[in-house]
Amino acid sequence: MFNLINGAESNVKNDILSGTTVALALVPEAVAFAFVAGVEPMVGLYAAFMMGLLTSLFGGRPGMISGATGATAVVMVSLVAQHGVQYLFAMVVLAGVLQMLAGIFKLGKFIRMVPYPVMLGFVNGLAIVIFLAQMGQFKYEVTEGTMTWLQGEMLYTMGILIAVTMAIMHFLPKITQAVPAGLVAIVAVTLAVLGLDLEARTVIDFVRDMLPAEQAATATLTGQLPSFAIPEVPFSWETLRIIFPYALIIAAVGLIESLLTLSLIDEITDTRGSGNRECLGQGVANTVNGFFGGMGGCAMIGQSMININSGGRGRLSGVTAAVVLLLFILFGAQYIEMIPLAALVGIMFMVVLGTFEWSSLRIIGKIPRSDALILILVSAVTVFFDLAIAVIVGVIVSALVFAWQHAKRIHVHAYVDEQGYKVYELRGPIFFGSVSNFKELFDPAGDPEHVVIEFQRSRVADHSALEAIDGLAEKYRAAGKTLHLRHLSKDCRRLLRKAGDLVEVNVLEDPSYQVAVDAE
């Protein structure tokens, strides 16, 4: 018998029903994110179809939904504005290749090393960037190249339509979740604009603004299957110089958001996806996007949660969502062009409210100052630079803070044993940040002939630590004394080259140290 609600395991009926629901939820956001990136709606819809289908087939997390996303769309804006949509397609192909390389070299495991304050800063910065991207819709062109803010009736109409959209999306789920709130909001606002004959810019107006004047008057959206085409860009080093920075950022942002979503679904479903396979799946999907006219993307947290909460746990749910979305593209394109831009702005505002981690404002005064600083820093770098650089900066600063804090934790308990040996029981890690403190703990001139360093409660973390130990051994040798290292791991013994016969290694146990292991 089928379990239709929140099934713990995948079954066909659950997957088909939940996939159909997700497809309806994909439509408004795919159009809205295309609108954010400055490309035609069909480019976003094609991306949602291809990303959803291919990641469901080849990705590492059954039940996770991928498509066009705000995280990647905001990075594409300047590339499209400066060089056009063909450069976007070439960049997406390259980003896909980089993601596949990340999967081949098993880099997916390193998402575990992104600290929580960095994640908070990442999502907060993303929310701010998406919000700022909507401000352009509150302007209109007075003369060619001159923009001014909306005023009077135009502003009031825009504001009311946005407010209605947001209200529907907020209150409808409290009444029923049988249909996606975003889809209902778009239909209601579109009907209101048509029925009341309101002056409001629509999707087709946005598309026509992107076209030359001679083409704009007759432009319409046509639903058809995406077709293969090599991006029409010069195959030169100059093209690579233009698209590579964007491709690197898109690849990094896409993998970060996808792997964070994968980890979230793992926790919710008490199962385990494969980060490395997800890297490969995302890479394949983005590469195909570039050759078939899509804007690429990554995993979508919101749609993935809809799918999981609706009972979709298997790959069939994602495949169903993609196929139903394709049917909508083929047979409903003429309806998409009637959607008011205000409805899409309202949806994006709700995405902003849902993306921003409001709890971070409440806890920022309760967490360590270093974590608060990292959270604010990552948010700021995200807004003023880009998402990938923000995460990298956050991880580096977190690592430096960690190193500084642990550098102060090294100390010893010294005593003389029954043999007359001076024993230093070392406590705390030895690494590049703590070697200065480590060297100050010993007294080669005042110590007896034999000195033992006990490593049972310590560990040697890097080459700087090995050099510090070797330098200490040299000082004891110069003083005519012998240094003994006890309970030093075999990895450290193998790397310690210069001490030679002056260092006696008495191994009673061999701790093994691992930073990250690859688990499929």
CATH number, domain of 460, equals 3.30.750.24
Shared domain for 18 and 94, answered yes or no, is yes
pLDDT score, position 145: 59
| Bridge pairing between strands 422-430 and 450-460 | parallel
Regarding whether 78 and 113 lie in a shared domain, the answer is yes
Digit-coded pLDDT (tens) for 81-132: 899 899 999 999 999 999 999 999 988 777 667 788 888 888 888 788 878 8
pTM above 0.75, yes or no: no
Residue 512 lies in a domain: no
The residue among 375, 397, 419 that closes a domain is 397
- Residues 469 and 389 grouped into a single domain: no
Radius of gyration of the chain (CA): 29
Residues 275 and 337 in one domain: yes
Domain end residue (candidates: 349, 377, 397): 397
- Domain match, 74 and 169 both: yes
Q: Which residues contact 409 (CB under 8 A, 6 or more apart)?
A: 427, 428, 429, 434
Q: Are residues 347 and 496 in the same domain?
A: no
Residue 300 lies in a domain: yes
Q: What would the 3-class secondary structure string for 226-283 be?
A: CCCCCCCCCCCHHHHHHHHHHHHHHHHHHHHHHHHHHHHHHHHHCCCCCHHHHHHHHH
Mean pLDDT calculated for residue range 305-322? 85
- 360 and 297 assigned to the same domain: yes
Kindly give the residue spans of alpha helices, DSSP state H, lying in 311-446: 315-336, 341-355, 359-363, 369-384, 387-407, 435-439
For residue 330, give its domain range: 12-397
Beta bridge partners of 202: 340
Which is more confident, 168 or 405?
Answer: 168
The CA–CA distances, whole Å, from 508 to 325, 487, 511 equal: 64, 6, 10
Q: Answer with the one of 397, 432, 450 that is the final residue of a domain.
A: 397
375-400: per-residue pLDDT in tens? 999 899 888 877 768 878 888 899 88
Count how many domains the chain has.
2
State how far the Cα of 127 lies from the Cα of 296, in Å rounded to an integer: 20
Contacts of 201 (CB under 8 A, 6+ apart): 137, 340, 341, 342
Q: What percent of the chain has pLDDT over 70?
A: 87
Residues 109 and 149 occupy one common structural domain: yes
Task: Answer yes or no: is pLDDT of 213 > 80.
Answer: no
Whether 518 is covered by a domain: the verdict is no
Report the pLDDT value the prediction gives residue 123, as an integer from 0 to 100: 80
Q: What is the pLDDT of residue 143?
A: 63
Residue 8 pLDDT greater than 70, yes or no:
no
Report whether pLDDT(294) > 90: yes
Question: What's the CA gap between 16 and 228, in Å, rounded?
Answer: 28
- 292 is written with which tokens? 């078939």
DSSP, collapsed to helix, strand or coil, labels residue 512 as: coil
For 126, the 3-state DSSP assignment is helix
Any domain includes 66: yes
**What CA–CA distance (Å, rounded) separates 81 from 97?**
24
247 and 115, same structural domain? yes
Say if residue 427 is in the same domain as residue 388: no
In a domain, 2, yes or no: no
Same domain, 353 and 474: no
Q: What is the percentage of the chain residues whose pLDDT exceeds 90?
A: 25
Residue that wins the pLDDT comparison between 405 and 287: 287
For residue 516, being part of any structural domain is answered with no
With respect to residue 44, please indicate whether it lies within any of the assigned structural domains.
Answer: yes
pLDDT at 283 over 90: yes
Classify residue 251: in a domain, yes or no.
Answer: yes
Claim to verify: residue 482 and residue 443 sit in the same structural domain = yes
Helix (H) or strand (E) holding 520: none
